[in-house]
A and B are shown apart, each in its own frame.
Chain A
Amino acid sequence: MALVTMREALNQALREEMLRDDNVFLMGEEVAEYQGAYKVTKGLLEELGPKRVIDTPITELGFAGLGVGAAMVGLRPIVEFMTFNFSILATDQIINSAAKMLYMSGGQFKIPIVFRGPGGSAFQVSSQHSQALESWYAYFPGLKVVMPSTPADAKGLLKASIRDDDPVIFIEQERMYGIKGEVSDDPDFVIPLGVADIKREGTDATIIARSLMVPVALKAAEALEKQGVSCEVIDPRTIRPLDINTIIESVKKTNRVVIAEESHPFCGVAAEIGAEINERAFDYLDAPVKRVSGADVPMPYAKNLEDLAIPSVDQIVAAVREVAYMD
């Protein structure tokens, strides 16, 4: 175990999996000579060479599709989007090719590919560079969607994603690359997809949070502890497959639920989880499921407005107090 940043943990996962399997290669904008726009791919070109670590032109649709084609015939590409905002250009290949190939070929062509990069809000880069797209990708059968919130999860889940035989959308939070945590250096440290993690145990209310909202929810839980409310914080870690069972077990225990997310509320992941809870555990609820989502607006530039657009500790505390009928 060692204390490393999220960035370093991801780098370790990439390096270890590329050393483990020659069919794994990495491509994307500035991943090689520049060492990665966010330095996640630092040192990989030097160690693994230009055949395995490939700088692409700015041509997202093209290299995403090239990756899918390579995956059709046995390679295991890791395609980095400098940010997931740019994946929007590549959605035809991600959705129409990667997600559907196995099905429409009657099971003949699996697509073992990872599309990864930073997503969610960044720091004051305005609307086109600051958005959460997980609900888009999670919508499509054929894709898996992973969102780690700690360095250890990032490493273990990225390794699992690279080893997975299906297309995986792996969204790293742009603000979280510098956070530190203990991470295993065992080359076989893998966290299976589809298993939620209880980040904090509690008895009075369940807060479901992912990615950037996990540390925010944990802070809210600390504050609520002082107010006499014991919160359980669940991080699904993967949106698809969603570990609904762990969530439902928690709901049955606490009977109150808040779902925090930085994405827009409309047709979002929280809406889906809320619907699942209503269908599976309605009788256990003592209050309606409450969502705390990002503002339903394009991300603004001004610092004060940006802060208002992203859910805060205070908003989560207020939501838990609301479902606990404390006010």
Chain B
Amino acid sequence: MAPRKTATVSSRKTSAKPANKASNGGPVADFTRDEELKAYREMLLIRRFEEKAGQLYGMGFIGGFCHLYIGQEAVGVGSISAIRKDDYVLASYREHGLALAKGMTARSIMAELFGKATGCSKGKGGSMHMFDKELGFLGGHAIVGGQIPLATGVAFAAKYKGTDQVALCFFGEAAVNQGAFHESLNMAQLWKVPCIYICENNRYGMGTSLERAMSSHDISQKSCAYDIAAEFVDGMDVLAVREATMRAVERARKDSLPTLLEVRTYRFMGHSMSDPGNYRTRAEIERHQERDPLKLFSASLMEEGILTDEQFKEIEAQVKDQVEKAVKFAEESPLPDPKELYTDVYATPLDAHRN
């Protein structure tokens, strides 16, 4: 039986700086002060970016579907802070925040939302299909659970090629009901591939609660069926997410083993922009907002003297400016050339075969 944790209560208190050991004896969450501030800045950037995206969607600048990451910032930032630049990230359609955390620019993401030629996918992918090959951000996939076998294959390839790269695969708890999840975890442990499956349990698959969709609600328990290491972790605590991911990354890099992380979080906004919200109460949302990951982290940073009031305001202003510049960039960017309609369908276009 693979190691399986039943609880992670990691937080600043249990991994006090300078942290030598996490609460469970795992690897150290050796965040420097600068890195902590950087993480806070990234979380705030995601929050402000998404707020702006929601606003621009309402104004008609952004089309299609738009799934915001507000409330889940600690998951993406905490986990991606635990991997290297050359590691891979694959995500669902709720991926703007994860793309930002992987180092993609607000400009390229906003331009993609605007359907502009300067977008990260040249305006062909939109909100649900952000990609950046250079930065190892491999989508943006819009069929629930579809990215899970893909991430397994990315990790398989890393092992095949003998690199020590790992893949992080993000998906919501509703994806756990898809066959793709179960098929992937089985293969991952069978073939020992360095994939870290991060289930962002935000309690709702669209408007259907976990309890109404899943016969057994404990997602980390699903790992037992595949003898795969698992933990559950507080998704509102960025440091806890980082620590749990670090343990998983070590397992992946050193022993080429997969891990299932259930990260318990909450989305403060609707499923998409057209969500009526009638499946949960205002009080429930407010209860979760009391544990807003940004508020928790900033309070903790202030308490530790890492973040001053002045810096707090300064970061807020810088992030606001960054988002505004991204919007301006997106607005001023050209639409894709009509000729782009027919490019990128094939690496070797059909016509080329006839020569």
- Interface residues of chain A, those whose CB is within 8 Å of chain B, are 25, 51, 54, 56-57, 59, 61-75, 77, 92-93, 96-97, 101-110, 112, 141-142, 144, 164-166, 192-195, 238, 240-241, 243, 245
Beyond A96-B146, A238-B353, 19 additional contacts (C-beta under 8 Å) are A51-B160, A59-B183, A64-B149, A66-B153, A70-B154, A70-B156, A72-B150, A73-B88, A77-B153, A96-B141, A104-B124, A104-B125, A105-B139, A106-B344, A108-B132, A142-B345, A166-B348, A193-B353, A241-B350
> Chain A nearest CB: distance from B4 CB in Å?
22
Residues of A contacting B139 in the complex (Cβ-Cβ under 8 angstroms): 101, 104-105, 109
> Chain A nearest CB: distance from B101 CB in Å?
19
Residues of A contacting B190 in the complex (Cβ-Cβ under 8 angstroms): 57
How big is chain B's contact interface, by range?
A: 35 or more
- Tell me which of B142, B161, B344 has the highest count of chain A C-beta atoms within 10 A of its own C-beta: B344
Residues of A contacting B143 in the complex (Cβ-Cβ under 8 angstroms): 92, 96
Mark each residue of chain B from 142 to 160: 1 if its CB lies under 8 Å from any CB of chain A, else 0. Answer: 1100101111111111101
- Contact, CB under 8 Å: B154 / A105: no
- Contact, CB under 8 Å: B343 / A69: no
Judge if B123 is at the interface, Cβ distance under 8 Å.
yes
Residues of B contacting A51 in the complex (Cβ-Cβ under 8 angstroms): 160
- Contact, CB under 8 Å: A102 / B150: no
Residues of B contacting A141 in the complex (Cβ-Cβ under 8 angstroms): 345
In the assembly, what is the distance between CA of A19 and CA of B160, in Å?
16
Residues of B contacting A61 in the complex (Cβ-Cβ under 8 angstroms): 149, 179-180, 183
- Contact, CB under 8 Å: A194 / B350: yes
In the assembly, what is the distance between CA of A196 and CA of B129, in Å?
36
Judge if B81 is at the interface, Cβ distance under 8 Å.
no
Residues of B contacting A64 in the complex (Cβ-Cβ under 8 angstroms): 149
In the assembly, what is the distance between CA of A161 and CA of B126, in Å?
31
- Contact, CB under 8 Å: A106 / B153: no
Residues of B contacting A71 in the complex (Cβ-Cβ under 8 angstroms): 153
> Chain B nearest CB: distance from A301 CB in Å?
29
20 CB-based A-B contacts, threshold 8 Å: A57-B190, A61-B179, A62-B149, A62-B152, A62-B183, A64-B149, A65-B152, A65-B184, A70-B160, A92-B146, A96-B143, A103-B124, A105-B131, A106-B119, A106-B122, A107-B343, A110-B347, A164-B348, A193-B353, A241-B354
In the assembly, what is the distance between CA of A238 and CA of B132, in Å?
33
- Contact, CB under 8 Å: A105 / B146: no
